[in-house]
Amino acid sequence: MTSFTLFIGGVAAALLLRPVLGLIYAVIVAYAGGGKTLKSLGATPGSWAIVTGGSDGIGKEFATQIAQKHGLNVLLVARNKEKLDTVQRELSNSAKGDIKTHVLDFSKATPSDYARLKETILGLPGGVSVLINNVAVNHVSPVSFIDESIETIESIVQVNISAQLAVTRIIAPLLVSQKKGLILNIGSLAGIVPSGYLSVYSASKAFLRFWSNALAMELKPSNVHVEHIRAFFIVTAMSKIRKPTWLSPTPKAFVKAVLGRLGKNIDSAPYPSHAILMWAIDNIMGERFWIDQSNNMHIDIMKRVVKKKEREAAAAAGSRKKDI
């Protein structure tokens, strides 16, 4: 064998080996625990965690695990009073600390609504140490931008962008003055891969990721840890995924992974299968491929939604005929 053949063989082996070793490393890192504790990130027992969108899905689960296992008081912020009251009742029995609620519809929030929220937060005895910017709204189902209603577009911008800024603008100065604290921003795969037919939601989550990473750098010297969480598929009302799978965990499993792996990075995918998918997106086929996959998946969902609506309309027309 000539040294040239050996050289080419060596380069080919290195090119093949690199992604394999990268995948092995990604799997090991994904399944290894070892994050920092909430306490070491500034969340002292007796202080408060604020969870936006805390009445359902992932936000409710953050509130539950933080209240039950980490001994913090929790303020839940969401729009539906009945749901908030129910969660408060459920949690009050098992929480180590206090549970309070604050009703606010972020899609319609005015400066005086944010002033009222600030008053509630400043009145919490023991101070605030954690903010979980979890609230978000999505398109009801995939839809082209030009067919989406102006109301939905405005609601996504208000909730997914304006509310994140307004709530953080209230809480970040408190954390900075304490020189400790934690801000978690719950992102999405749609904020990493531009997602056709969910374009406004996708762009709002890309905004969140950029802003979160920039804010993390600004607040680091004040010992405030800001982390953007890459959440992909989770069983909740928003995702309409009903059964958990390897790739789509329950909120309980997802939040446990997040709280167990905090503080290692300012932009992380703490759930193991999501971290492996993230590795694939970064290393296989290139961005264009993943943009196409996302686009095709949403076109497919859109077609199925249209067919379902047609079936329902036909069934309704049939039952009207019978009645006549």
Ligand X SMILES: NC(=O)c1ccc[n+]([C@@H]2O[C@H](COP(=O)([O-])OP(=O)(O)OC[C@H]3O[C@@H](n4cnc5c(N)ncnc54)[C@H](OP(=O)(O)O)[C@@H]3O)[C@@H](O)[C@H]2O)c1
- Identify the CA nearest to 226 among candidates 276, 187, 252: 187
Is 114 a binder of ligand X (CB under 6 A)?
Answer: no
Outline where DSSP puts E strands in 42-107.
Answer: 48-52, 73-78, 99-103
Shortest Å, Cβ 260 to ligand X? 18
Is 58 a binder of ligand X (CB under 6 A)?
Answer: yes
Burial class (CB in 10 A: 0-12, 13-18, 19+), 127: middle
Residue type, 39: K
Q: Are 281 and 188 in contact (CB under 8 A)?
A: no
For 16, the 3-state DSSP assignment is helix
Bridge-partner residues for 229, per DSSP?
186, 268
Is 106 a binder of ligand X (CB under 6 A)?
Answer: yes
For strands 224-229 and 267-268, give the pairing: parallel
Burial class (CB in 10 A: 0-12, 13-18, 19+), 85: middle
Residues 194-233 that bind ligand X (CB under 6 A): 231-233
In which residue are the tokens 């969910």 written?
A: 198
Candidates 60, 180, 205, 271; catalytic one: 205
Q: Are 256 and 212 in contact (CB under 8 A)?
A: no
Which lies closer to ligand X via its Cβ, residue 80 or residue 265?
Answer: 80
In which residue are the tokens 């949690």 written?
A: 91
Is 53 a binder of ligand X (CB under 6 A)?
Answer: yes
Which lies closer to ligand X via its Cβ, residue 174 or residue 198?
Answer: 198
Shortest Å, Cβ 151 to ligand X? 12
Edge-to-edge strand ranges of the sheet holding 267-268: 99-103, 73-78, 48-52, 128-133, 181-186, 224-229, 267-268
Which lies closer to ligand X via its Cβ, residue 54 or residue 181?
Answer: 54
For strands 224-229 and 99-103, give the pairing: unpaired
Interface map 236-275 toward ligand X (x if CB under 6 A) = xxxx------------------------------------
Interface map 74-103 toward ligand X (x if CB under 6 A) = ----xxx--x--------------------
Shortest Å, Cβ 237 to ligand X? 4
Among 186, 192, 198, 219, binds ligand X (CB under 6 A): 186
Residues 12-51 that bind ligand X (CB under 6 A): none
Q: Is 118 a catalytic residue?
A: no
Which lies closer to ligand X via its Cβ, residue 213 or residue 239?
Answer: 239
Is 129 a binder of ligand X (CB under 6 A)?
Answer: no
C-alpha–C-alpha distance, residues 226 and 215, integer Å: 7
Q: Is 201 a catalytic residue?
A: yes
Candidates 114, 197, 201, 271; catalytic one: 201
Among 64, 107, 168, 199, binds ligand X (CB under 6 A): 107
**How many of the chain's residues bind ligand X (CB under 6 A)?**
30
Among 121, 135, 198, 278, binds ligand X (CB under 6 A): 135
Q: Which residues bind ligand X (CB under 6 A)?
A: 53-59, 78-80, 83, 104-107, 134-137, 159, 186, 188, 231-234, 236-239
Residues assigned a catalytic role: 201, 205
